[in-house]
Structure formats: structure tokens, C-alpha cells
């Protein structure tokens, strides 16, 4: 079991069951879209964010993005991290059919990828100091990853290489990159991408 100081916030009980076998921490399911009307749950999450910090880990689909963005707006203060798993086609064993978008949810993602997601967001154990200067929107622009012709294709190629959901916004990408990758490393990654979303 891997100790994590922060609580991990997931969508449902199957996600909680999966993560409970890997991480030694409080794991809180929000029960999907029910969180939008659950004032008591939001109050608890705000308190957790202030007292020990939380990690938001939702499915890499549209529904997961909606829940993640909602939590970002209603928990504006405290220690809040966002961990991401890659978009991998498939379905969980317990389901008879794949999800609407055809991607595996958190419960279907492999243990190593879940550990990597939590560690990369900077919240495993005690929170480390940022190792690098934050990446800025201007940096992304200069590398052709936003605001330029073909930026969308280049950004998608970068997301694919990093193992991140393709629906990640530019703002979320900045939050993910800042402090955990240097500008030089990002420049190298950007230089390895082509406009087909692959690698040169």
C-alpha cells in the first residue's frame, strides 16, 4: 500500500474499491452527477482540501471532465491536485458494454498507471516543492501548442505522448505541466511531435 497524505476524490464506489487496494489514504466517491446537488459532500470536500488536501481523479471522458470542472469551481481554496489517467479504449469486466465514449474508467486502468497519475500530480506522501519554473501560456504559444494554425493537432499529439485525456483544456494542461517539467523538456517533446498526432 502506498501512503498518500491527501484524500483522493473519485466518481464512484468501484473506483474507490480499486484505489483502496493500492493507496493508504481516505478515498471519497462523489457518486457521479449526484455531487452537483450534494451540499454536505461539497462542504466535506472543502474541509478536506483545507485540512489535508485532496486529489481529484475522474474518468477520462466528458462526464469526468464535467465533474472535475465543477469541483474546481466549488472548491477554489485549499490544497487541490488534479490527477489524470490516459484515454484507453475498452470496457470494465463487470460491464456488458463500453461507456458512451468507449474509454476505460478509473476502475479499469492498470495499477502502474494509477500510481503514476497520483505521483505526477505532486501529491504522493508529503507535497514536494516545485522542481521547475511554471510553464506559461506564452510558452505554449511560442511552441505552437496554442493560438496558432495547427495548434489543436499539435496539442493533441502532446497529450497523447504524455498519456493524458484528449479533452484536456489548455488551462488544465498548463496546471499539469507547471512545476513538473522544465521548459527545455517541453521544447524537446514539442519538437518530437508531428501534425498527425504521432512522433517524428
Q: Are residues 147 and 111 in the same domain?
A: no
Q: Are residues 20 and 114 in the same domain?
A: yes
Could you give the CA distance from residue 105 to residue 92 in angstroms, rounded to a whole number?
8
User: Residue 74 falls within a domain, yes or no?
Assistant: yes
Note the pLDDT of residue 127: 41
Q: Are residues 84 and 141 in the same domain?
A: no
Contact 84, 176 (CB under 8 A): yes
The segments of the chain whose pLDDT lies below 50 read 126-130, 197-200
Q: Are residues 97 and 166 in the same domain?
A: no
Note the pLDDT of residue 125: 57
Q: Are residues 103 and 174 in the same domain?
A: no
Note the pLDDT of residue 132: 66
Note the pLDDT of residue 197: 45
Could you give the CA distance from residue 151 to residue 158 in angstroms, rounded to a whole number?
10
Could you give the CA distance from residue 77 to residue 100 in angstroms, rounded to a whole number?
33
User: Residue 132 falls within a domain, yes or no?
Assistant: no
Could you give the CA distance from residue 149 to residue 61 in angstroms, rounded to a whole number?
26
Pick the last residue of a domain from 120, 152, 182: 120
Q: Are residues 27 and 109 in the same domain?
A: yes
Q: Are residues 38 and 95 in the same domain?
A: yes
Residue with grid cell 470542472, as numbered in its chain: 69
Could you give the CA distance from residue 153 to residue 105 in angstroms, rounded to a whole number?
24
Note the pLDDT of residue 130: 47
Number of domains in the chain: 2
Grid coordinates representing 187?
Answer: 521544447
Pick the last residue of a domain from 120, 145, 167: 120
Grid coordinates representing 115?
Answer: 500510481
Note the pLDDT of residue 123: 73
Q: Are residues 94 and 157 in the same domain?
A: no
Q: Are residues 9 and 107 in the same domain?
A: yes
Q: Which domain holds residue 184?
A: 137-191
Q: Are residues 66 and 95 in the same domain?
A: yes
For the residues of 116-182, what is the DSSP string, one character each?
A: HHHHHTT-SSSPPPP-SPPP-HHHHHHTTSSSSTTHHHHHHHHHHHHT--TT--HHHHHHHHTTTS-
Note the pLDDT of residue 55: 96
Q: Are residues 8 and 105 in the same domain?
A: yes
User: Residue 126 falls within a domain, yes or no?
Assistant: no
Q: CATH number for the domain including 22?
A: 3.40.50.140
Q: Are residues 110 and 148 in the same domain?
A: no
Note the pLDDT of residue 46: 94
Name the helix (H) or strand (E) containing 28: strand 27-29
Contact 56, 82 (CB under 8 A): yes
Computed over every residue of the chain, the mean pLDDT equals: 85
- Local structure of residue 83 (DSSP, 8 states): -
Amino acid at each position: 500500500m502506498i501512503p498518500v497524505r491527501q484524500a483522493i476524490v473519485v466518481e464512484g464506489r468501484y473506483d474507490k474499491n480499486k484505489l483502496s487496494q493500492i493507496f493508504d489514504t481516505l478515498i471519497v466517491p462523489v457518486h457521479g452527477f449526484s455531487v452537483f446537488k450534494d451540499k454536505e459532500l461539497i462542504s466535506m470536500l472543502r474541509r478536506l482540501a483545507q485540512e489535508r488536501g485532496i486529489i481529484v481523479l475522474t474518468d477520462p471522458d466528458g462526464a469526468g471532465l464535467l465533474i472535475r470542472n465543477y469541483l474546481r469551481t466549488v472548491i477554489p481554496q485549499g490544497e487541490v491536485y488534479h490527477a489524470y489517467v490516459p484515454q484507453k479504449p475498452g470496457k470494465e469486466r463487470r460491464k456488458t458494454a463500453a461507456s458512451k465514449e468507449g474509454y476505460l474508467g478509473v476502475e479499469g486502468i492498470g495499477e502502474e498507471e494509477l500510481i503514476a497519475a497520483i505521483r505526477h500530480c505532486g501529491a504522493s506522501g508529503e507535497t514536494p516543492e516545485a522542481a521547475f519554473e511554471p510553464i506559461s501560456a506564452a510558452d505554449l504559444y511560442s511552441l505552437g501548442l496554442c493560438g496558432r494554425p495547427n495548434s489543436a493537432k499539435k496539442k493533441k499529439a502532446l497529450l497523447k505522448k504524455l498519456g493524458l485525456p484528449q479533452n484536456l483544456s489548455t488551462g488544465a494542461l498548463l496546471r499539469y505541466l507547471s512545476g513538473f517539467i522544465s521548459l527545455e523538456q517541453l521544447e524537446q517533446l514539442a519538437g518530437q511531435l508531428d501534425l498527425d498526432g504521432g512522433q517524428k
